[in-house]
Amino acid sequence: MGSRRKFLEKASVAAVGIPLLCYSSDLLASSSEPYDGRMLRVAIMGLGSYGNRVAKAMVDCEKAKLVGVISGTPSKIADWREKYDVPEKNCYNYENFDAIKDNPDIDAVYIITPNGLHCEQAIRVAEAGKHVICEKPMGINAAEGQKMVDACKAANVKLLIGYRMHFEPKTMEVIRMRMDGEFGQPKFFQGQSGFVIGDPTQWRLNKKLAGGGAMMDIGIYSINGARYMLGEEPIWVTAQETKTDPVKFKEGIDETIQFQMGFPSGAVANCLSTYAMNNLDRFFLNGSDGFAEMQPSTGYGPIKGRTHKGELTQPHITHQTLQMDGMAELIFEGKQPIVPVDGEEGVKDMKIIDAIFEAVKTGGKVEITI
């Protein structure tokens, strides 16, 4: 985990002195007035590395607040209770969290556990009548994702996936430029996502808990990025796997996959997902009239990039702070992000991952309907 955290944290800076931006229909608007609207009261499930990052970022949220925890480790609960002033009545473990349905002080549960647990946990949260925020990948295949979407619909709760880049200012600017035709016709996307994974015993290298290897964890950024940078859904994929360490990367755990995607307009994407190379975090979009290049493109920031018009200069703001305020607006004010973060968006990425794994197996071109 250390190497992953280092990769994502590399150029991270605190957003001290920068006015908090909130994600809204006019993309990013400065919030000068103190917020006195409804607060999204969130319980975090899974108090690991990323859960800690989200909790810390939420301290600066103005529309969302950490109010509860779900964990199997009593010492972590005690620690979080003290750090974040979480009342005892809002603390649960993995056996008893269905009782959250009787807790009127919690609106949503943010699931930040290993991928293989997301589906069952999301369904239980939905059945308890709480909104579900779930980390990426939403599950370990599209069938699981669809089950989650169906369960949340049946329970009449929202299902949102932790796609923090959909709230990130420089990313939003490139998407705006693409939508305004500033790149002309988008033709080509290149996405490279990777880091060298450490401890061979961690859940990320366990098929049941991770669902796959680098593709599930980090390749998904290139998949999702290809879709929001090009503004289209792929209609075919091809993919090739390379494995240099079959002991560490067992059957079903991909070390390195190169994959290609074709889009209805004729645009193509060429991507690399790997657990065997460090400092790979780069997006490149080429259109008939311009380009965008981002490196780092999906780490915790600051994101850096330039287009044919010059440097991207939007400010860095902690991604998870923007995301959670944006999700509060989405849940309570019905605001829709330009690029969705709903369950259906998550299922699209899962369908592409399923197709990539199939293409690796067959060596052929896999047609997909997203």
Residue count (the chain) = 370
Distance CA 252, CA 258 (A): 16
The single residue among 39, 209, 268, 338 that binds ligand NAD, judged by CB under 6 A, is: 209
**84 part of the interface to ligand NAD, by CB under 6 A:** no
Which runs of E-coded beta strand occur in 52-157?
Answer: 64-70, 91-92, 108-111, 131-134
Q: What is the DSSP string of 274-339?
A: ESS-SSEEEEEEEESS-EEEESSSSSSS---EEETTEE--PPP--HHHHHHHHHHHHHHH----SS
Q: Which stretch binds ligand NAD (CB under 6 A): 25-33, 48-56, 140-148, 171-179?
A: 48-56
The single residue among 23, 41, 43, 51 that binds ligand NAD, judged by CB under 6 A, is: 51
Q: Between residues 299 and 305, which has the closer beta carbon with respect to ligand NAD? A: 299
Q: How many residues bind to ligand NAD according to rule CB under 6 A?
A: 20
Structure tokens at 248: 């560490």
Q: How far is the CB of 50 from ligand NAD (least distance, A)?
A: 3
Q: Between residues 3 and 31, which has the closer beta carbon with respect to ligand NAD? A: 3
Q: Between residues 5 and 308, which has the closer beta carbon with respect to ligand NAD? A: 5
**43 part of the interface to ligand NAD, by CB under 6 A:** no
Instruction: Note if 136 is an active site residue.
Output: yes
> Ramachandran region of residue 85, left (φ > 0), alpha (ψ -120 to 50) or beta?
left
**46 part of the interface to ligand NAD, by CB under 6 A:** yes
Distance CA 349, CA 98 (A): 28
**135 part of the interface to ligand NAD, by CB under 6 A:** yes
Instruction: Note if 228 is an active site residue.
Output: no
Q: What is the CA radius of gyration of the chain?
A: 20
34 neighbors 295 (Cβ within 8 angstroms) = no
The amino acid sitting at 228 is Y
The single residue among 68, 139, 162, 302 that binds ligand NAD, judged by CB under 6 A, is: 162
107 neighbors 40 (Cβ within 8 angstroms) = yes
285 neighbors 24 (Cβ within 8 angstroms) = no
**47 part of the interface to ligand NAD, by CB under 6 A:** yes
Marked catalytic residue, from 23, 50, 163, 221: 221
The single residue among 112, 157, 172, 239 that binds ligand NAD, judged by CB under 6 A, is: 112
**219 part of the interface to ligand NAD, by CB under 6 A:** no
Distance CA 77, CA 88 (A): 9
**50 part of the interface to ligand NAD, by CB under 6 A:** yes
The CA angle 297-299-305, to the nearest 5 degrees, is 30
**136 part of the interface to ligand NAD, by CB under 6 A:** yes
Q: Is 236 helix (H, G, I), strand (E, B) or coil?
A: strand
Q: Which stretch binds ligand NAD (CB under 6 A): 97-105, 110-118, 192-200, 226-234?
A: 110-118
Marked catalytic residue, from 63, 130, 136, 351: 136
Q: Between residues 49 and 185, which has the closer beta carbon with respect to ligand NAD? A: 49
Q: Which stretch binds ligand NAD (CB under 6 A): 9-17, 40-48, 172-180, 351-359?
A: 40-48
Beta strands 268-274 and 256-262, pairing class: antiparallel
Q: How far is the CB of 44 from ligand NAD (least distance, A)?
A: 10
Which residues of this protein are in contact with ligand NAD, per CB under 6 A? 1, 46-51, 72, 112-115, 117, 135-136, 162, 164, 203, 209, 217
Catalytic positions are 136, 221
